Copies of this chain bind each other. A is one copy, B any other.
Amino acid sequence: MTIRLLLADDQALVRGALSALLALEPDLEVVAEVGAGDLVLEAVREHRPDVALLDVEMPGLDGIAAAALVRAEFPDVRVLIVTTFGRPGYLRRALQAGASGFVVKDTPAAELADAVRRVHAGLRVVDPALATDSLIAGESPLTGRETEVLQAAQDGSSVAAMAAKLFLSEGTVRNHLSSAIGKTGATNRAEAVLIADGNGWL
């Protein structure tokens, strides 16, 4: 009885390489590969995998959002998140979205197949170092608006541009920014963006 896998990663080369890696295991079978989060649910419907390996960073729907959709429609499909960045907030959100495991891409290749098997067996797989980081960093202290404003600031927009985009007054944008700067312990907007993003809060 082989474990049926779905692979989602926007980088075709990595996707294909992971597929090759997992195909080496006799008890694993890759039944579907997709390159965008939007396609995950559809592929799950069609191929009914046992485990879905989802990258977080994907165009369109990200892996965490895709995980939530999958779990909502197919509670028996296990989700293993595989990501480049071990952002604490990613782990928290992934687990809240119903993921059973969370693996960063610099874990040894040999451990991936094991992680898949454990997840399939109903166990949780979480990098212990990351788990402690997640506890330390905690949940995002930012309010909804503060988060939105920082996201808008990511591309180097001016206050005026952000105000226009979010339909807010410039003063309000600056208030939210100031508040976010305070909460992140930063001294300016750019630093606040880096800190928040590094924690997976954006």
- The residues of A with any CB-CB pair to B shorter than 8 Å are 10-21, 23-24, 35, 82, 84, 103-110, 112, 153, 155-158, 186-194
Tally of this chain's copies: 2
**A35 to B193 alpha-carbon distance, docked (Å):** 29
The distance from the CB of A141 to the nearest CB of chain B, in whole angstroms, is 18
| Chain B residues, CB < 8 A from A110 | 16
| Chain B residues, CB < 8 A from A193 | 156
**A149 to B90 alpha-carbon distance, docked (Å):** 32
| Chain B residues, CB < 8 A from A190 | 153, 155-156, 189-190
Closest to A35 in B: B106
The distance from the CB of A71 to the nearest CB of chain B, in whole angstroms, is 24
Name the 8 nearest CB pairs between A and B, nearest first.
A16-B109, A156-B191, A156-B190, A17-B17, A20-B21, A11-B105, A17-B21, A20-B20
| Known contacts A156-B186, A156-B193, A187-B158: A21-B16 contact under CB 8 Å | yes
Q: Which of B107, B153, B187, B194 lies in contact with A13, CB distance below 8 A? A: B107
Asked if A191 contacts B109 (CB within 8 A), the reply is no
Closest to A193 in B: B156
The distance from the CB of A58 to the nearest CB of chain B, in whole angstroms, is 11
| Chain B residues, CB < 8 A from A13 | 18, 82, 103-109, 112
Closest to A13 in B: B105
| Chain B residues, CB < 8 A from A187 | 156, 158
